[in-house]
């Protein structure tokens, strides 16, 4: 098989890139290790920056997002029982949209079906070859048969555990990582959200987040120990702990119900440099991971897609290689800014087990600064809604 761009990974970043390239007449084949049903079964975040929404519109797949997405003009930060609302529209000039990542992925798959794009699921033993030459190719196994795709470029959108990043030699690649000493216990419940905007809560007992997927589906989190087990947390224990960490008036309004999904996610910050090696480009979680506190995971992947799509389009339509040559530098410049914001939000809102009394006072001073200084709120708002590409 021959294509122009081989995309490794059938998650939202790989699918969005394939749709954008297709709109420009650039052929792409998507390889995915899992089944379509497995990909759509992943429960992920749903806060979308305007830049991401604009890319979905550009790709022609935003009809349902525009119809069903929730526009959020702000968010609430609570510190014990004190609250501060960050007004995105006033402070940053634009809102965010709440729309589940699962729904984004579903819309992208449906659009790819309509356009007849080639997506190959349940592939095994994917290997990237000759990526440092002008004739790269990909081999894989499907239904026990070996197959090969020749291509001009390879986009590695296959996540942290994929093969793409590992293809870059250790002598070339440099990884940066910070692992946080806690995780998030999250549940999904068929209950109305407790508030029309997200609530980020910091308390003496630890962090909590109240969010939603739609008017009848809520997503809640509490900070937990990495040693905790999901089965040790009953639904009642979760709801009781959540109430202890959010403002009293919010706790009183909370509607509870059985969880339909429950999981614990560890938190880490990770960046791999460079994001390009030869004809291979890393995109999204293959190159970087952020703690979910700042809602930047999917959104930072979208900025990678933006730069790579623009670069490849210029290459094919104008024979201009400046975009792909500068891809890694541009993408990483924005990646590190989103890393800084996510790291800052995580430090602001969580209780670290090894913090000294001085560290606690510094956190309290940072909170007071945010409560009292409009410029600090403006900085938070501009980062949360998304820095320009």
Catalytic residue among 137, 140, 307, 384: 384
Number of C-alpha atoms within 13 angstroms, CB side, residue 50? Answer: 19
Report phi then psi at 307, rounded to 5.
Answer: -65, -40
Catalytic residue among 136, 221, 247, 296: 296
- Annotated catalytic, 178? no
Q: DSSP class of residue 32?
A: -
User: Quick one: which of 190, 196, 246 has its CA closest to 78?
Assistant: 246
Q: Please tell me which residue in 136, 292, 309, 330 is annotated as part of the active site.
A: 292
160 by Cβ neighbours in 10 Å (0-12 / 13-18 / 19+) ranks as middle
Query: How far, CA to CA in Å, does 109 sit from each of 97, 232, 356, 364?
Result: 20, 36, 49, 45
Omega within 30 of 0 (cis) for the link into 274: yes
Choosing from 99, 109, 200, 327, the catalytic residue is 200
Determine whether 288 is an active site residue.
no
Helix (H, G, I), strand (E, B) or coil at 256: coil
- Annotation says 384 is catalytic: yes
Residue with tokens 């501009």, as numbered in its chain: 382
Q: Tokens standing for 119?
A: 């997506």
Decide if 320 contacts 259 (C-beta within 8 A).
no
Catalytic residue among 72, 288, 330, 350: 72
How many C-beta atoms surround the C-beta of residue 232 within 10 A? 11
State the catalytic residues.
Answer: 72, 200, 292, 296, 384
């Amino acid at each position: 098989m021959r294509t122009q761009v081989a995309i490794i990974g059938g998650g939202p970043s790989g699918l969005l890139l394939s749709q954008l390239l297709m709109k420009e007449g650039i052929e792409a084949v998507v390889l995915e290790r899992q089944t379509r049903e497995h990909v759509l079964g992943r429960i992920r975040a749903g806060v979308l920056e305007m830049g991401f929404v604009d890319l979905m519109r550009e790709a022609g797949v935003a009809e349902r997002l525009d119809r069903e997405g929730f526009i959020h003009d702000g968010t609430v930060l609570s510190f014990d029982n004190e609250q501060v609302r960050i007004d995105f529209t006033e402070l940053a000039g634009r809102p965010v949209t709440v729309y589940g990542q699962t729904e984004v992925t579903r819309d992208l798959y449906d659009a790819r079906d309509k356009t007849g794009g080639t997506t190959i699921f349940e592939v095994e033993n994917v290997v990237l070859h000759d990526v440092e030459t002008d004739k790269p190719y990909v081999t894989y196994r499907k239904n026990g048969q070996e197959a090969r795709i020749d291509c001009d470029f390879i986009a590695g959108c296959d996540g942290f555990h994929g093969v793409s990043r590992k293809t870059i030699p250790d002598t070339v690649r440099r990884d940066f990582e910070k692992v946080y000493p806690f995780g998030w216990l999250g549940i999904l419940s068929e209950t109305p959200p407790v508030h029309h905007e997200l609530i980020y809560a910091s308390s003496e007992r630890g962090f909590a987040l109240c969010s939603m997927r739609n008017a009848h589906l809520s997503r809640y989190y509490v900070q937990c120990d990495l040693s905790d087990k999901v089965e040790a947390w009953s639904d009642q224990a979760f709801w009781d702990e959540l109430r202890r960490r959010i403002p009293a008036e919010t706790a009183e309004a909370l509607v509870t119900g059985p969880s339909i999904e429950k999981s614990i996610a560890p938190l880490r910050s990770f960046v791999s440099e460079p994001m390009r090696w030869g004809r291979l480009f890393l995109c999204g979680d293959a190159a970087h991971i952020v703690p979910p506190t700042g809602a930047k995971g999917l959104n930072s992947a979208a900025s990678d897609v933006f730069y790579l799509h623009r670069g490849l389009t210029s290459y094919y339509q104008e024979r201009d290689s400046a975009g792909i040559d500068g891809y890694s530098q541009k993408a990483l410049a924005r990646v590190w800014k989103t890393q800084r914001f996510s790291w800052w939000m995580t430090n602001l809102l969580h209780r670290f087990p090894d913090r000294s009394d001085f560290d606690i006072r510094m956190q309290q001073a940072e909170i007071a600064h945010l409560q009292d200084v409009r410029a600090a709120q403006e900085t938070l708002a501009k980062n949360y809604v998304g820095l320009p590409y």
